[in-house]
Amino acid sequence: MQIDKLVALWQGYRQRGVNPTIHPDDHMFKSNLLLDDYEIVGESGLKVIHSVLAMSRKEAVYNVLDFGCGHGRVARYIRAMFPKADLSFSDIDPSCTDFCATQFSGKAVQSTADLSQLTLPHGMDLIWVGSVFTHIDYKRMEILFDKLFQALGRGGILIATFRGRQTYEITKSRPEQTTLYASLLEQYETVGSGYQPYPRSVVQMGMTDWGLSLVSIEKIVALGKRHTNARLIGYSEAGWANVHDVGAWTKL
């Protein structure tokens, strides 16, 4: 995207501001405890999107999908930057999609635990996936990537976050974490990706197999290499809120 357009997008977002309404059951807000932390992570997602657009050939954004939208931590910022775009919000929790669709003027798209049965709108210019690949094993990452990539229009951009090398190094450096996530770390060291399910007591609504994943840069890049019309246009270690790695692909 041309620099003047990027500048206009950012200035417009700053002038409009974001819808500050927080859902009472927003666990991302509750887990941050402080509104400042919630806002920093939300705006960091927008900065990622903005920077990826700078590296892309995309000159206009008309259709956007926030997959794994939650109760709008990043969605409210996407709406502020793209006030005229058609936004779709997808999550497995209907309260999330309904809230986002109402508060941020868009369409609710119900997700499903069985990713092979996932149905998404097509022709997307931009898809943001914050903290979804971080909770599934590599086989399901491939299925989800394919579904999301299929939903892109030509020239569309897929941006997704992952737990990568930095998360591995931090976990490895803490004895209590090393013991707790021994299997996860061993898998990552052996094959470049690992997954460890959460205890059943903390499994989210509708997700019977939901946990923590680690995945190497090589395995993340390999997700796109399976598609001849996919081009990796950006990769940043700990690029989202200084925690998650970010991969970005465009559809040729």
- Distances 226 to 145, 156, 231 between C-alpha atoms, Å: 10, 17, 11
In this predicted structure, the answer to whether residue 32 has a pLDDT above a threshold of 70 is: no
Taking the CB of residue 17, how many other CB atoms lie within 10 A of it? 10
Digit-coded pLDDT (tens) for 99-113: 999 999 999 999 999
Amino acid identity for residue 14 in this structure = R
In this predicted structure, the answer to whether residue 203 has a pLDDT above a threshold of 60 is: no
Question: What is the Cα 42 distance to its own chain's centre?
Answer: 11
Digit-coded pLDDT (tens) for 77-87: 999 999 999 99
Give the structural domain span for 240: 3-251
Q: Domain count of the chain? A: 1
CATH number, position 135: 3.40.50.150
In three-state form (DSSP H/G/I as H, E/B as E, the rest C), the secondary structure along the chain is CCHHHHHHHHHHHHHHCCCCCCCCCCHHHHHHCCHHHHHHHHHHHHHHHHHHHHHCCCCCCCEEEEECCCCCCCHHHHHHHCCCCEEEEEECCHHHHHHHHHHCCEEEEECCCCHHHCCCCCCEEEEEECCCHHHCCHHHHHHHHHHHHHHEEEEEEEEEEECCHHHHHHHHCCHHHHHHCHHHHHHHHHHCEEEEECCHHHCCCCCCCCEEEEECHHHHHHHHHCCCCEEEEEEEEEEECCCEEEEEEEEC
In this predicted structure, the answer to whether residue 36 has a pLDDT above a threshold of 80 is: no
Token representation of residue 230? 């996919």
Digit-coded pLDDT (tens) for 122-156: 999 999 999 999 999 999 999 999 999 999 999 99
